[in-house]
């Protein structure tokens, strides 16, 4: 692909930097750089993305925050088969590089209720700034790959930027950490990607901030498995005028994300995000149900079973079922790399605010109402290629 390389690196600041997705992202970037891995799974490594201005994958430098201090080498080995996507041989081969990558990872600052949220924001900004300086990065992009939060209070959506600013000064304000991270990044001109269902930059006030500061952001909730399939299959029923009566989906997984989602309040973030896709594509509301269950023995291997009952000509009842068995992190990591490159490109082109053309990557896209995968892809290609 036509890529800049050799100059100043592109900094990637991972929020949740020792989690499964972040670890797989870092391992993957190193493995590709050293020639241990190919480009499968990277959308930006296909012909449609031969555009000038796309950052080279070799120029990425990683930093980030995590609540834990598990060494990356250990985190990577924990994702070895059969619990995850990483071949033990691969992890062995890059242990030195993983240890080297540690040096920009820091413990996340505390979010004490007693302090004004702004203190947290400032601490994050300090670390972001240190990372930029110490790496000489030409740009830093922040990516939220942390564990899913509980849904944010609905009132938060009613605040404008001034009101949000005021809230940040008030101790006890309940602004979720993901929004504080988004604020911190956007406020200092750092583009922000929200790969999780957490609220992140999806608030009107943060869209306002992004526009004011002239920074782009992308999100929300990476579309990696069952929902990806929904967005590929639901249009078939619509195009063929087959009436979907029932679409129920059951997801089981055993990684940290699964553990967080075993809390019903947290799961609500995710199932809400997953539940809108089918009705939005079909244009009507079939009977739907989405469950995510934590089954620790599955590790990073997510299995989803979907049952779709539909009615054909003359009311004939028919059924489609599918089972998806995929590694959550191996599906997510290349999209994280894609998003870093595409958000960097958008920033270089002077785009600001929510990047609707990246809907292709998300379950709940910001600034875009399109859920049909083929339509999202066409939109993305048109946008990137300026046609």
CB of 265 to a second copy, least distance (A): 15
* Binding range to a second copy, per CB under 8 A, among 53-61, 85-93, 177-185, 349-357: 85-93
181-210 binders of a second copy (CB under 8 A): none
Six token digits for residue 96: 């030195």
Phi, psi of 209, rounded to the nearest 5 degrees: -60, -45
219-248 binders of a second copy (CB under 8 A): 228-229, 232-233, 235-236, 239-243, 245-246, 248
Complex with a second copy: residue 338 or 344, whichever CB lies closer: 338
Six token digits for residue 56: 């080279």
78 in contact with a second copy (CB under 8 A): no
Closest-CA residue to 80 (of 15, 20, 14):
20
Closest-CA residue to 23 (of 329, 342, 257):
329
CB of 323 to a second copy, least distance (A): 5
322 in contact with a second copy (CB under 8 A): yes
Q: Is cis: bond before 220, omega within 30 of 0?
A: yes
Q: Which of 334, 353, 354, 365 binds a second copy (CB under 8 A)?
A: 334
Q: Which of 6, 35, 52, 89 binds a second copy (CB under 8 A)?
A: 89
Binding mask 258-297 for a second copy (x = CB under 8 A): ----------------------------xx-x-x-x-xxx
Phi, psi of 140, rounded to the nearest 5 degrees: -115, 140
Closest-CA residue to 224 (of 77, 342, 324, 118):
324
Q: Which of 3, 4, 33, 41 binds a second copy (CB under 8 A)?
A: 41
CB of 231 to a second copy, least distance (A): 8
20 in contact with a second copy (CB under 8 A): no
Complex with a second copy: residue 169 or 382, whichever CB lies closer: 382
Complex with a second copy: residue 12 or 201, whichever CB lies closer: 12
Closest-CA residue to 366 (of 266, 268, 221, 267):
221
Closest-CA residue to 19 (of 171, 150, 144):
144
CB of 279 to a second copy, least distance (A): 14
The Cα-based distances of 144 to 4, 280, 294, 324, 358 in angstroms read 25, 26, 21, 25, 16
CB of 320 to a second copy, least distance (A): 5
CB of 303 to a second copy, least distance (A): 6
- With contacts defined by CB under 8 A, how many residues of the chain interact with a second copy? 77
Complex with a second copy: residue 251 or 266, whichever CB lies closer: 251
Distance in angstroms (rounded) separating the CA atoms of residues 271 and 251: 10
Q: Which of 319, 350, 369, 387 binds a second copy (CB under 8 A)?
A: 319
CB 317 within 8 A of CB 311: yes
Distance in angstroms (rounded) separating the CA atoms of residues 129 and 190: 10
**In terms of C-beta density within 10 A (0-12 exposed, 13-18 middle, 19 or more buried), how is residue 64 classed?**
buried
93 in contact with a second copy (CB under 8 A): no
């Amino acid at each position: 692909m036509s890529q800049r390389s050799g100059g100043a690196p592109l900094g990637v600041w991972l929020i949740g930097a020792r989690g499964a997705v972040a670890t797989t992202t870092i391992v993957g970037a190193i493995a590709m750089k050293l020639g241990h891995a190919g480009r499968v799974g990277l959308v930006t490594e296909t012909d449609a993305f031969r555009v000038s201005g796309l950052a080279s994958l070799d120029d990425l430098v990683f930093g980030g925050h995590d609540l834990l201090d598990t060494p990356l080498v250990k985190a990577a080995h924990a994702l070895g088969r059969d619990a995850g996507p990483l071949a033990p041989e691969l992890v062995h081969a890059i242990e030195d590089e993983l240890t080297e990558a540690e040096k920009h990872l820091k413990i996340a600052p505390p979010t004490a209720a007693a302090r004004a949220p702004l203190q947290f924001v400032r601490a994050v900004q300090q670390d972001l700034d240190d990372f930029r300086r110490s790496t000489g990065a030409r740009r830093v992009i922040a990516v939220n790959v942390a564990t899913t939060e509980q849904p944010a209070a609905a009132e938060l959506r009613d605040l404008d930027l001034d009101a949000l600013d005021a809230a940040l000064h008030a101790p006890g304000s309940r602004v979720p950490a993901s929004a504080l991270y988004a604020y911190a990044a956007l406020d200092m001109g750092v583009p922000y990607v929200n790969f999780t269902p957490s609220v992140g930059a999806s608030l009107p006030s943060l869209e306002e901030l992004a526009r004011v500061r002239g920074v782009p952001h992308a999100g929300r909730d990476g579309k990696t498995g069952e929902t990806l399939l929904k967005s590929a299959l639901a249009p078939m029923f619509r195009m063929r005028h087959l009436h979907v009566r029932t679409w129920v989906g059951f997801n089981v997984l055993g990684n940290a994300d699964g553990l967080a989602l075993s809390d019903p309040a947290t799961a609500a973030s995710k199932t809400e995000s997953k539940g809108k896709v089918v009705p939005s594509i079909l244009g009507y509301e079939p009977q739907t149900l989405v469950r995510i269950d934590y089954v620790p023995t599955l590790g990073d291997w997510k299995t989803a079973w979907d049952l779709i009952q539909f009615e054909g000509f003359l009311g004939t009842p028919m059924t489609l079922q599918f089972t998806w068995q995929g590694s959550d992190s191996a599906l997510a990591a290349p999209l994280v790399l894609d998003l870093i490159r595409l958000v960097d490109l958008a920033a270089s082109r002077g785009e600001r605010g929510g990047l609707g053309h990246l809907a292709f990557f998300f379950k709940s896209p910001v600034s875009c109402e399109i859920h049909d995968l083929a339509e999202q892809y066409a939109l993305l290609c048109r946008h990137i290629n300026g046609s």
